[in-house]
Structure 1
């Protein structure tokens, strides 16, 4: 599991795919839901995407070839 997370943390295309799915389908439904737990899940998923994007940006700016 740790290797999968490490692999995903350093790849751009899975992040872009997850971001498009979240913005297009999942995010609007969860954040505008009438259930409090659904809204919290939507916000947690958004926070995870932000953290993943931060890791990718940090790696992009500090990566030395």
Structure 2
């Protein structure tokens, strides 16, 4: 599992795909749902994407050749 996480943090395209899917499909449905638990799940996924984006962005900006 750790190697998969390291693989994800070294590449930006899986993050970009997940972010686009969240913005286009999953996010609006979960955040505007009538169920409180669905809204909390949507916000949790958004927080996880934000944390993942921070790690990827930090890795890309501090990458030295």
**TM-score in terms of structure 1 length:** 0.93
Size of the aligned set, in residue pairs, is: 65
Gaps of 5+ in 1: none
Gaps of 5+ in 2: none
Deviations 1:1-59 (A, max 9, x none): 11111111121110011001000000000000011110000001001111111111111
Check the 8 A contact 2:27/2:42 in 1, yes or no.
Answer: yes
Looking at both structures, which has the greater relative contact order when contacts are Cα pairs under 8 Å and sequence separation is at least 6? 2
**TM-score in terms of structure 2 length:** 0.93
Check the 8 A contact 2:9/2:59 in 1, yes or no.
Answer: no
Superposed displacement of residue 61, structure 1 = 1.7
